[in-house]
């Protein structure tokens, strides 16, 4: 069994307002950084022990991953980047990639709608049944066997950022 934690990135600057241009370069806002840091401390308080951190290469997701890595005392250099966590990627791409990991707990950082689509895929539903908030986290359990099929996993819990911050 592998535990996969899906964390949506923190609040970022609005699309079209960041001077650097592409959507992939939008950074977290200062408030987004602060709320994500508090949510990360809430995750730590829950007793998570991630042995792998995987992030979308988009700036706001990487910043979220770095904040969480710092809270857990994990060097930022250990964060793996994958296109499987970008907003438009197929849910099966992430599951296929995770099948190659030897970690028991993987913490993933990505975007909407991809995160909710991954949850739906794992649960075997045709449409999303969740709406993960910014800096919110969902915990999934997947069979350890490679090639996890849709409908073979379990949604263990899902916490909004407000609850995570209260745990900090």
25-82 pLDDT, tens digit per residue, is 999 999 999 999 999 999 999 999 999 999 999 999 999 999 999 999 999 999 999 9
- State the pLDDT at residue 46: 97
The one-character DSSP state at 16 is: T
- Sign of the dihedral defined by the CA atoms of residues 110, 125, 130, 22, in that order: positive
Rounded to whole angstroms, the Cα distance separating 106 from 5 reads 6
Starting at the edge strand that comes first in sequence, how are the strands of the sheet with 105-110 ordered?
79-81, 52-55, 105-110, 2-8, 137-142, 154-159
Q: What is the pLDDT of residue 3?
A: 94
Above 60 in pLDDT, residue 150? no
Asked whether 108 and 4 are in contact (CB, 8 A), the reply is: yes
pTM comes to 0.94
Q: What rounded mean pLDDT belongs to the chain?
A: 92
How many Cα atoms occupy the beta-carbon half-sphere of 22 within 13 Å? Answer: 5
Q: Does the pLDDT at position 18 exceed 90?
A: no
Question: Region 81-105: what's the mean pLDDT?
Answer: 92
CATH top-level class of 2-167: alpha beta
Cα 128 to Cα 120: distance, rounded to the nearest angstrom: 5
């Amino acid at each position: 069994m592998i535990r996969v934690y899906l964390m949506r990135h923190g609040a970022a600057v609005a699309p079209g307002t960041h001077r650097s241009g592409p959507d992939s370069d939008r950074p977290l806002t200062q408030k987004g950084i602060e709320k994500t840091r508090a949510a990360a401390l809430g995750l730590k308080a829950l007793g998570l022990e991630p042995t792998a951190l995987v992030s979308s290469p988009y700036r706001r997701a990487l910043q979220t991953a770095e904040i969480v890595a710092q809270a857990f005392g994990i060097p930022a250099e250990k964060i793996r980047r994958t296109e499987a966590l970008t907003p438009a990627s197929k849910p099966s791409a992430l599951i296929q990639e995770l099948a190659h990991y030897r970690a028991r707990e993987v913490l993933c950082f990505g975007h909407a709608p991809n995160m909710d689509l991954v949850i739906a895929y794992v649960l075997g539903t045709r449409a999303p049944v969740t709406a993960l908030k910014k800096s919110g986290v969902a915990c999934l359990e997947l069979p350890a066997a490679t090639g996890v099929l849709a409908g073979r996993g379990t949604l263990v819990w899902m916490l909004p950022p407000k609850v995570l911050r209260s745990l900090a």
